[in-house]
Structure 1
């Protein structure tokens, strides 16, 4: 039955299989995003607004280490999808074994290094003034659980590559729900403050890992590996690395963006501006869940059909994914333009933060309706194994446009320059992605008429 599920990627109608893949992915991302959202609300109301800023300082560091797992997962899953599509299960199994070995070694090493140099890292990411101490408490405990998160993120992408989106959804929902329950117990009932928030997060990562381990050991998975698959294969590692580097580079740029944003905003507006950015950042994670779900659902479909040389279905999947994502992103845009103050009040009672955040939020989401092209375009190149264009398009928004803009525009427009950098970079990166995606379709996916 598992094998039939993976073959569905190449046989079912594109709209139907995209929804089948995207809805569970969207629900999983929604629950995970709600977890981050509610976690921030709990921290803001039960500990204080400074605690929100403290978590915002820690997130890019812990997420970068965990993103190694996602990078290895997405890079390897692209190989697995194409291997299953071309009926090569041996390569799929070897790839999965190599993913596990790489994730374990790299994430544990980085977590240890991160703990050794924790003070310097926290300060460099904007953990200054009253933010430093709560950030340090949270950082130390969360890093213990990060390797489990990395393994979970890696395994989740492989589950989806097998054509099992519901189990991938469960893998995202379980730690999110457990984290909220533990947040209530540790913060509100036991009054453990930042330590409670951190332990709730780390324990939820471990619970997620246990579920994913069960999936691969059970009959639900068709990837039954043995000890021989863990030995690193140079060609597979190279392909995982080249494709996974796209995801890692994206998260690295996200982490660098947090570094610049936290420091620039602290200098321009102090803790209030850093807290405003933290709230807007949570909304970026939460509000975009359906669009990200479409993107996640699109990846295995494009990869499988490209591996099967069914280019007509690849083109259909691109067009359908962009259409669905554009409709959803427009709905998100309308909600955030209309209710930014009500959204801000969910996080805090700090009047200074409530006064500042709504206008910032409107600027950040101003170009949301058009970002579907950028997200799907970059994901397409990654799904078919074209690492260089995938990397360049992934870095276009934040690396090539956003970071230079936030370094330049505040010199002329102050803090406003930071916020208007968001829509400008969205528009520019979408134009670039649309050009390269259109060229790719016309030159490499025209063997069959639409």
Structure 2
């Protein structure tokens, strides 16, 4: 495929469907885990699953910081015709992800209980959290490096290979969850083994791509190693901030829910968080589909193609948001009962929580899409500012303010809806401003305006 000459719509389709399929299979990890835990262990297991989510976010943070940052710089360099420079970014980002993994992994092993306490685990839930979480921690490098190589290999023009790797890992995870949790009766540990095993399989398959002849990712000695790392990190910073914000936000949510709603509300939130993670992966899949195309065309100065790509992809996430929100509004109780063997208290609490929280998915897609879009056109500062607003500033203020003003846990759910809505409005203004700047550059370079 030619990212600079093939029709934008056709290119978008070629990257979108493998990315969405890979995103869907990735969400199966948490989706099937939550079903297996909720049905096999019960509401306490679902609550424990909500505590475990942030540790997976740490792995994604490191993998995407290096993977998205390196792949965006690699794509831009290839668009400029600088193949040696592109491989220098790949080499620098690979070394960085290995160094960070070597630093973070031992810390998670040494301080696992402290981490899970920070994430909101109570003494009641801690045994279940450790039963699952320790398996994830011992296989932590596979989670980090899978996220990294997924970004790099997709940018190398092999989205179908990534899809196949994710599918193989997901298939193992689905079978493992059923077999280990139910016939073998291994509970939380069985679900954890299935998730860790699926991730290891995915990682090993991704490594096989590096041995193929079609692989254009080559290790070279960066001429300016520190500079290559800094540029890669700056390009991937907003993606890592997005993951870090997810970690911090989940910690605040877990603690606020336990404070105002207790373990019943947290067990419902465990299911809602699984749905949220699934939708976020799908939105991220749209963003990852546009990155190789946008970065290459930005490097080549072909802005009109970027404008077409922006219109198509933004429409995609808006339509997805409508569908996802409708599911929660129409089927709140059915969603909870699908995921767990719910108690009467859970059934009573579920409809209000699900219906309010699912309204946030109307706006979430725009915000996540914007992170990838601004990264691709080298507006990393804009991407980072929007991510910080969403993940730290607006969300933190509302999560602490609204429960007090609304007198309870309902304020927690509305805080998330208002956060996504406010940031989405700011995001669309930023998109318009960026488009005007590119149109001005387009005219100055003598290219016809889009």
Shift of 1:77: 0.5
The equivalent of 2:419 in structure 1 is 425
CA distance in 1, matches of 2:21, 2:224: 34
The equivalent of 2:328 in structure 1 is 336
Matches within 5 A, 1:103-142: 103-142=97-136
The equivalent of 1:449 in structure 2 is 449
The equivalent of 2:296 in structure 1 is 304
Q: In the alignment, is the contact (CA less than 8 A) between 1:364 and 1:423 conserved in 2?
A: yes
Shift of 1:335: 2.4
| Larger CA deviation: 256-265 vs 438-447 | 438-447
The equivalent of 1:275 in structure 2 is 267
Asked if residue 363 in structure 1 is aligned to residue 361 in structure 2, the reply is: no
CA distance in 1, matches of 2:280, 2:144: 22
Q: In the alignment, is the contact (CA less than 8 A) between 1:156 and 1:171 conserved in 2?
A: no
Of 197, 201, 211 in structure 2, the residue corresponding to residue 207 of structure 1 is 201
TM-score where L is the length of structure 1: 0.94
Shift of 1:155: 0.5
Q: In the alignment, is the contact (CA less than 8 A) between 2:239 and 2:371 conserved in 1?
A: no
Residue 129 of structure 1 aligns to a residue in which SS? coil
Of 148, 156, 178 in structure 2, the residue corresponding to residue 184 of structure 1 is 178
The equivalent of 2:445 in structure 1 is none
The equivalent of 1:34 in structure 2 is 28
CA distance in 2, matches of 1:422, 1:335: 18
Residue 126 of structure 1 aligns to a residue in which SS? coil
Q: In the alignment, is the contact (CA less than 8 A) between 2:73 and 2:235 conserved in 1?
A: no
The equivalent of 1:253 in structure 2 is 245
CA distance in 2, matches of 1:35, 1:141: 14
Q: In the alignment, is the contact (CA less than 8 A) between 2:181 and 2:191 conserved in 1?
A: yes
| Larger CA deviation: 290-299 vs 267-276 | 290-299
Of 290, 295, 298 in structure 1, the residue corresponding to residue 287 of structure 2 is 295
Change (3 A) 1:336 1:220: farther
Of 133, 137, 148 in structure 2, the residue corresponding to residue 143 of structure 1 is 137
CA distance in 1, matches of 2:141, 2:436: 42
Q: In the alignment, is the contact (CA less than 8 A) between 2:43 and 2:267 conserved in 1?
A: yes
| Larger CA deviation: 215-224 vs 248-257 | 215-224
| Larger CA deviation: 301-310 vs 391-400 | 391-400
Counting matched residue pairs gives 442
Shift of 1:72: 0.6
Change (3 A) 1:383 1:98: same
Q: Any idea what the Cα deviations from partners look like across 1:369-402, whole Å, max 9, x if unmatched? A: 3444333333221112232111011222222211
Q: In the alignment, is the contact (CA less than 8 A) between 1:326 and 1:371 conserved in 2?
A: no
Q: Any idea what the Cα deviations from partners look like across 1:200-256, whole Å, max 9, x if unmatched? A: 222222111100100111123121336x46x98111100111122211111111111
Matches within 5 A, 1:93-112: 93-112=87-106
CA distance in 2, matches of 1:15, 1:375: 21
Q: Any idea what the Cα deviations from partners look like across 1:321-358, whole Å, max 9, x if unmatched? A: 11222122222222222112111110112222222122
Asked if residue 353 in structure 1 is aligned to residue 376 in structure 2, the reply is: no
CA distance in 2, matches of 1:375, 1:270: 30
Asked if residue 236 in structure 1 is aligned to residue 228 in structure 2, the reply is: yes
The equivalent of 2:38 in structure 1 is 44
Of 150, 161, 175 in structure 2, the residue corresponding to residue 167 of structure 1 is 161
Change (3 A) 1:252 1:367: closer
TM-score where L is the length of structure 2: 0.94
Residue 65 of structure 1 aligns to a residue in which SS? helix
Unaligned runs of at least 5 residues, structure 2:
443-447
| Larger CA deviation: 288-297 vs 319-328 | 288-297
Q: Any idea what the Cα deviations from partners look like across 1:385-424, whole Å, max 9, x if unmatched? A: 2321110112222222112100111012111100011221
